[in-house]
Amino acid sequence: MNIAVSPNLATPNGTTRPQVRIVIVGHVDHGKSTLVGRLLHETGSLPDGKLEMLKAVSARRGMPFEWSFLLDALQTERDQGITIDTTQIRFRTKSRDVVLIDAPGHAEFLRNMITGASQADGAVLIIDALEGVRDQTRRHGYLLHLLGIKQVAVVVNKMDRVDFSEARFRDISDEISAHLIDLGVTPSAVIPISARDGDGVAERTDRIGWYKGLTVVEALDALTPARALDELPLRLPVQAIYKFDDRRIVAGRIESGNLRTGDEIVIMPAGKIAKIKSVESWPLTPLSGPQGAGRSTGITLDRELFIERGDVIAHVGAAPRDTRRLRARIFWLHDAPLAVGASVLLRVGTRESRATIVAIEKAVDPGDLQSVAAKAIARNHVGEIDISLAQPIAADPYTDNPRTGRLVIEVNGRIAGGGLVLSVDAGQRAVPVDIVPVESALRPDERSARYRHNGAVLWLTGLPGSGKSTLALALERRLFSRGGSPILLDGDTLRAGLNNDLGFSAQDRSENIRRLAEVAAHLAKNGHIAIVAAVSPALEDRAAARRIADAAFREIYVSTPAEICEQRDPKGHYAKARAGALHGFTGIGNNYQAPGAVELTIDTSQRSVADATDAIERMLAETGILFDEHVDLAANI
């Protein structure tokens, strides 16, 4: 079956008419397909002979003619009497071209409703006058709100079945308006109609003579096309890097903002900076003018940087946040409920990352808006969740950017849910309540008695080549010899495993230090001496580590002068950095922040290793970590 094709671009006089995309939603059997069929008829959009053909089909099947036959073209639909998927139909009103998206109302097919509604600029929410507002009506209202659709016209259908009662209409109108306004959506019109007979669709008939508002066609005429995204900051999610010839083209669609040659850009989440060398195109290239939101474009950069699919290009100073933690409001479409601890695949723009559901803060059936037990989000329910990501991503809260502030969740390779990013700043969120730490079987003092020391975090900080690792190894040997339990946590060693997902941006360095500190503090709590050797250039990061390990923290500043560190260059890093082959290397860029007051400062250019180790041992004894006497455990009991 074929629905009328109304050209929406080139009208004979050569002008372009605005196009709006409308989704029709509502409870099953409230009359969506009938309204669409009627609208097509009223706007003269049906192909010649179509009406007659459908009447003949109906007669052959011994069924009364229904407008919904126009849409329910599929055999399966006719058999079951329901619309099972989204159908798009075009017609014209006086002032615009309308793309109608007929969304199925059956609860089973909510995913299709979302598939359809996500593409809409506005919505028509349909309610049966006899049945009134149903759960599915409210659910659809909620989902429209979640999908960010603000323009909603409500129609109260089947007015013929309530004798065109104005009172009945008012009741329903008040109820649904209150519900929608609660959600932050003000209906643009509430219209009494009979889709079957035509009242209120294109004409205000005598039977609804008391109604003075818009008809459905007028309400559609009043909806405005989608908003401009040009005004927002630039967001260009990278789809791919193409190297078909000598150009290295970064390709993607500009989701918001605009760009042009010469712009200084930042590539998130890594935070690398470059300039746009050219905007490439085909058949004409390069392009000189600005490129705005919506364009699928390709750019080259003025320097070779590692860029990959999923990165987001923004202007310097207006970049999205990078994060490993998101809070989101989602709708869930999958058969199996989404539970805390679930491992899923998250997609934000073109970035995909493994993710874990850390917490479910709210789970709601949008049908009755009652919060339900928040351990899981059931199919067709919505909820607020806290997500932890295996990889850093660049994202915006949806209130800042509707395009980069939305995500989908995949389970077994299939989209299972989606929603809006509420915040990307959830890194320090509370530990979920259902995590119960297990205490060690041993008391700290039992270990202390054996090792003759208390637990501690010994934090060696200083420039690369300052001698941290050498000291750490000597100290480890010394403490072990005296019966203690020292454990070395070398920054580079942990980067090879635990922290191998981290780069060298400021954020990644902070996270690296945080994890080192957490592991070290855990060891200290259990009576070991964790010896951490890490450049840890930022004062703030070391302060954070001290907070984590608390009273067990001892900081040693290995203050060897920079020239000597560079002369030593045990790993060859200084040489590489001088040659420009190692970016962001601490030591050359002067980005090491020397500590102020610390437990001990050691300049290894002035002292031997044995001498320095003695000094550390003394400091540990003086500050209550090491003790010489065997403790009488019995005395403590």
Partner 1 sequence: MHLLDNDNGRDGLRGAPRESADVRMPSMDHLDELEAQSIYIFREAFARLKKLALLWSLGKDSNVMIWLARKAFFGRVPFPALHVDTGKKFPEMYTFRDQYAGEWGLDLKVDYCPPIESIDPTLPPAARSAARKTEGLKLALAKYGFDGLIAGIRRDEEATRAKERVFSPRGTEGGWDVRDQPPEFWDQFNASPPPGAHLRIHPILHWTEADIWAYTKRENIPIIPLYLAKDGKRYRSLGDQDITNPVASTATTIDEILIELDGTKVPERAGRALDHETEDAFERLRVAGYL
323/508 Cα distance (integer angstroms): 10
Residue whose CB is less far from partner 1, 46 or 162: 46
Binding range to partner 1, per CB under 8 A, among 144-152, 318-326, 393-401, 580-588: 144-152
Residues 183-202: x/- map of binding to partner 1 (CB under 8 A)?
Answer: --xx-xx-------------
**Under 8 Å between Cβ of 372 and 380:** no
Q: Which long-range contacts (CB under 8 A, 24 or more apart) does 615-619 make?
A: 616/458, 616/471, 616/475, 616/556, 617/475, 617/478, 617/479, 619/554, 619/556
Candidate residues 58, 165, 281, 601; the one interacting with partner 1 per rule CB under 8 A = 281
Q: Is 487 in the site for partner 1 (CB under 8 A)?
A: no
Residue whose CB is less far from partner 1, 111 or 573: 111
Binding range to partner 1, per CB under 8 A, among 284-292, 393-401, 541-549, 611-619: 284-292
Residue 53 parent element (H or E):
helix 50-60
Q: Is 76 in the site for partner 1 (CB under 8 A)?
A: yes
∠ CA 201-202-205, rounded to 5°: 80
CA distances to 208, 297, 448, 520 from 442, rounded to whole Å, are 81, 62, 10, 18
Q: Is 167 in the site for partner 1 (CB under 8 A)?
A: no
Residue whose CB is less far from partner 1, 131 or 230: 230
Residue whose CB is less far from partner 1, 112 or 323: 112
Candidate residues 30, 32, 41, 90; the one interacting with partner 1 per rule CB under 8 A = 90
CA distances to 446, 488, 545 from 526, rounded to whole Å, are 10, 15, 17
Binding range to partner 1, per CB under 8 A, among 88-96, 386-394, 503-511, 554-562: 88-96
Of residues 388 through 417, those in contact with partner 1 by CB under 8 A are 406, 408, 410, 413-416
What is the widest separation between alpha-carbon atoms in the chain? 104
Q: Is 95 in the site for partner 1 (CB under 8 A)?
A: yes
Candidate residues 283, 437, 572, 580; the one interacting with partner 1 per rule CB under 8 A = 283
Place of tokens 């700043």: 425
Binding range to partner 1, per CB under 8 A, among 7-15, 510-518, 565-573, 616-624: 7-15
**Under 8 Å between Cβ of 279 and 249:** no
Q: Which amino acid is at 292?
A: G
* Nearest alpha-carbon partner for 85 in 109, 62, 57, 65: 109
Candidate residues 145, 158, 347, 381; the one interacting with partner 1 per rule CB under 8 A = 347
Q: Is 570 in the site for partner 1 (CB under 8 A)?
A: no
Of residues 17 through 46, those in contact with partner 1 by CB under 8 A are 17-19, 46
- The two counts, helices (H) then strands (E), for the chain are 16, 28
Dihedral over Cα of 323, 325, 326, 332: its sign: positive
Q: Is 87 in the site for partner 1 (CB under 8 A)?
A: yes
Q: Which of 118, 536, 559, 605 is catalytic?
A: 536
Q: Is 84 in the site for partner 1 (CB under 8 A)?
A: yes
Residue whose CB is less far from partner 1, 100 or 588: 100
CB proximity list for 388: less than 8 A, separation 6 or greater: 324, 325, 355, 356, 358
Q: Is 62 in the site for partner 1 (CB under 8 A)?
A: no
Candidate residues 131, 221, 361, 603; the one interacting with partner 1 per rule CB under 8 A = 221
Q: Is 112 in the site for partner 1 (CB under 8 A)?
A: yes
Binding range to partner 1, per CB under 8 A, among 127-135, 279-287, 354-362, 515-523: 279-287
Q: Is 5 in the site for partner 1 (CB under 8 A)?
A: yes
Reduce the secondary structure of 164-191 to three states and give it as a string: CCHHHHHHHHHHHHHHHHHCCCCEEEEE
33/89 Cα distance (integer angstroms): 11
Candidate residues 34, 43, 68, 151; the one interacting with partner 1 per rule CB under 8 A = 151
CA distances to 21, 27, 123, 174 from 189, rounded to whole Å, are 17, 19, 11, 12
Q: Is 1 in the site for partner 1 (CB under 8 A)?
A: yes
Q: Does the active-site annotation cover 388?
A: no
Q: Is 315 in the site for partner 1 (CB under 8 A)?
A: no
Q: Which amino acid is at 601?
A: T
Q: Which residues are catalytic?
A: 536
